[in-house]
Structure 1
Amino acid sequence: MQLYCFAGINPALVVEGVIPINTMLAIQMNICMVILLSSIAVHAYFKLDRKEQVNRLFLALIFLTILILILEILSVLLNSSNYTNLIILHKLVDTLGFTLTPLVPICAVLYVHRRTDKYDKINVNKLLWLSVPFAINSIISLGSYNFNWIFSITSENIYVRGPMFIVSPMTSYFYYIVNLQVLYNAREKINREELFILSLLTVIPSVLSIFQLYYFVYLTIWNSVAIAVVINYVFIVHSQTKIDSLTGLGNRIAYDEYLAISSRQSNIVLAVVNIDLDDFKSINDVFGHHEGDKVLRVFARHLEEVFEGKGLSIRLGGDEFIVLINENRREIVEKYIENLRNNINTYNEVSNNPYHIKFSYGLAIFNNTYNNIHELIQHSDKLMYEEKNKRVEKISCEIGQLMGR
């Protein structure tokens, strides 16, 4: 996965400044991909919420890929005996390219990590550890300008691989392996579709790089990276249609999609937890809708933290939530709910808000007494309202006893 000369055009094919037709086609493809990625970059810049770190990382991934593609185009065009007066520029382009190349897989690692675990901050020590191969590659790449370590440019302005050329691809492969490890660790937190889409950022360039390194032929590797980036952006845009804009949880589209998929299964394993916030209307009435929105976001975050990788958390509307879990053991699901209640109680204690966040829930596990999933959800919803009514009756009794005194 390198610039031109990273990409592997055989210098012997460049005779007296004549670039082969297949190489020219590759350049044209690179130009097309630059135009395509630039269009996507503009769309993503205005479409994605740049306050979110995961979106900033994806934008960085797009811009870095565009930059490398441009450098690759320049490297190919400058690799000609007709431009011996531009040897310095040629060396600068290749030096910059070899130096920046690992930044793309690094950015992919950080993006995948944040995409698969949005609440887990990357440890500073891990960042320092990840930066070591990049630092080594950068030193050797910059030194190649004078010492021809990774590459050299002949007096005829033709690129030749240097004795330490292997350092550059091995640095990229190091980050490919790290990325695959991140995906493997997150395999239970995300669905198979997302796992596959994210893996393309690593699988496509790593596989093509093997052919490029072995056969020394141009395989438009950076075009493949660009295609993987485009596919990921299509997936991001599609995913946004299934996300509640206020809380970041799934919305009714995600809810209907999940139920449709589950209903087609012959052996359904599903637990449903319907959740409704208590006294939410009074929070809105007394403290305003802005504070009410804050409560919804706080609750959604705790809901997602507890059920991430275990179930799909959805905001049905207002202060109504539902969690769909691939589980048929009641004690396991009740443990999750207990963790949620403990987390909310802890938040109430440290937040110093003049109100407390509380919730009622109904839990139902699918079995042969239900004809379909919709009956299961109706039963869960009924249990939730029964619990809510019991709470209201209990509070009313306590108030009555106090007034009786």
Structure 2
Amino acid sequence: MYKVILPIIDLDIIVVIFLVVILHTYKTKFKMDEKKINKTYVYLIITTTIIIILEILDKILLLHHSTILVPITKKIINIIGFGLYPISAFLWMIYLLQYFNLEPKSKLIIMPLIINFAISLLSYKYGFIFEVNNLNIYSRGTFFFTSIIITYFYFITSLIIIFKNKEKTEDKEYINLIMFEAIPFIAAIIQIFFNNLLLIWGSVGISLVIHYIYIQEKLLRYDNLTGVWNRMTSELYIYNNFINKNRPFSLIYVDVNDFKLINDTYGHNEGDKALINIANFLKNYFKDIGKVGRMGGDEFIIIIYKENEIQVNSIIRDINLQLCKYNIKLNKSYKLTISTGYKKFYNNYSRITDYIKDIDELMYINKQKIKKKLH
């Protein structure tokens, strides 16, 4: 008899296996107390995995009619399932807020979850969302669409968050986030026409797998703290430009002034925040004209396609002006300032390391000039 049900649940079984493997890998690779976003992603995987397992059990119970325990078990499964459906979407929304360093506008955003859970719990006795009689026959209740509406409310809210923060993302990153929502949406449309298929939650699991793959790729290319390119990606990008020599470019080397003082005075957590703030400032400033990478510690590098030294000088002056305004916005007890060194690439360089070394030296000279002015 399981031959009848297996083709319906086989996608769910495969997805559950993938999610369990990802969950194990993710929890091993990331410290759970390190970042809230890591915790949220793990909770999202766990919630989705439970929902899919419940979906599998629910279909298996359709084959059994011999005992009164089957309808009771099925009721419990549906109560948990309907209670968890919006939680998965809610966690995705929270994940996106953390992804873009945003805060929920109101704590009341959790109220629909509480209402849905209460209605799901009361459905055991009153059949608000569903009813399962002693013959194991399932029927919808008056409030059947409550959890569905709440789930879609959170998914639509998540989509709005992605749209509003498009400028903060690269094209590939933006597409990945949109695809997370698009895959379940397409699956839901297909399931409307073929209601014997189980696609929606399996597709959410597939979205989680795809996003996990993207996270792994991002970890290889981006600095984990600041979100800008890491040293390897920066140097590879510079090297490719160095080899091609068909597009003029300049490099700006950036060093955060008195970073050690910030660490020693306010602690390493505040030091990390200072680096994140500098990285965000540079990313926003150069989003249309250059690429930003972290070379290590408090040093950053910017690749810009400007060969005119007057233009680069103008940019440097404006960076310092805008950074002053940025400090006012941050309202910290310390000020973020930078030293810079920059140079147009010339074909007389035989090695990229020599080019970067020259820029680093120019930055150091600039740093010494700033120190003399301050003392």
- Shorter-chain TM-score bucket reads 0.7 to 0.9
CA spacing shift, 1:170–1:121, aligned 2, 3 Å:
closer
CA spacing shift, 1:333–1:107, aligned 2, 3 Å:
farther
Cα offset, 1:143, TM superposition:
2.9
Taking the aligned partners of 1:384 and 1:345, their CA distance within structure 2 comes to: 29
State the Cα deviation string for residues 243-282 of structure 1 (Å, max 9, x = none).
34666643122214555788999x97977532124577xx
Q: What is the one-letter code of the residue matched to 1:106?
A: F
Taking the aligned partners of 2:52 and 2:59, their CA distance within structure 1 comes to: 11
- Give the 5 Å matches for 1:2-401: 21=4, 23-50=5-32, 51-79=34-62, 80-115=64-99, 117-118=100-101, 120-123=102-105, 125=106, 127-128=107-108, 130-244=109-223, 249-256=228-235, 258-259=237-238, 272-278=251-257, 283=260, 297-309=272-284, 310-311=286-287, 312-324=291-303, 334-341=317-324, 343=326, 350=333, 358-362=337-341, 385-386=361-362, 388-389=364-365, 392=368
Q: What is the one-letter code of the residue matched to 1:302?
A: N
The two structures have a TM-score, normalised by structure 2, of 0.78
Cα offset, 1:229, TM superposition:
0.7
Taking the aligned partners of 2:48 and 2:212, their CA distance within structure 1 comes to: 14
Taking the aligned partners of 1:263 and 1:390, their CA distance within structure 2 comes to: 25
CA spacing shift, 1:56–1:88, aligned 2, 3 Å:
same
Do 1:58 and 1:111's aligned partners in 2 also have CA atoms closer than 8 Å? yes
Q: Return the structure number with greater relative CO, CA threshold 8 A, min gap 6.
A: 1
Cα offset, 1:178, TM superposition:
0.9
State the Cα deviation string for residues 201-233 of structure 1 (Å, max 9, x = none).
211112211232344222332221111111111
Taking the aligned partners of 2:306 and 2:162, their CA distance within structure 1 comes to: 23
Identical pairs, percent:
26
Unpaired runs of at least 5, structure 2: none
Cα offset, 1:152, TM superposition:
1.5
CA spacing shift, 1:27–1:62, aligned 2, 3 Å:
same
Q: What is the one-letter code of the residue matched to 1:57?
A: T
Cα offset, 1:363, TM superposition:
5.4
Taking the aligned partners of 2:12 and 2:256, their CA distance within structure 1 comes to: 53
Greater shift, 95-104 or 158-167, is seen at: 158-167
Q: What is the RMSD of the two structures over their aligned residues, measured on CA atoms? A: 4.2
Do 1:81 and 1:158's aligned partners in 2 also have CA atoms closer than 8 Å? no
Greater shift, 100-109 or 133-142, is seen at: 133-142
3-state DSSP of counterpart to 2:168: coil
Q: What is the one-letter code of the residue matched to 2:280?
A: E
3-state DSSP of counterpart to 1:219: coil
Unpaired runs of at least 5, structure 1: 1-17, 400-405
3-state DSSP of counterpart to 1:188: helix
Do 1:149 and 1:165's aligned partners in 2 also have CA atoms closer than 8 Å? yes
CA spacing shift, 1:391–1:46, aligned 2, 3 Å:
closer
Do 2:340 and 2:362's aligned partners in 1 also have CA atoms closer than 8 Å? no
3-state DSSP of counterpart to 1:350: coil
CA spacing shift, 1:154–1:336, aligned 2, 3 Å:
farther
The two structures have a TM-score, normalised by structure 1, of 0.73
Taking the aligned partners of 2:332 and 2:150, their CA distance within structure 1 comes to: 48
Taking the aligned partners of 2:353 and 2:326, their CA distance within structure 1 comes to: 25
State the Cα deviation string for residues 59-87 of structure 1 (Å, max 9, x = none).
01111011111211221122232344321
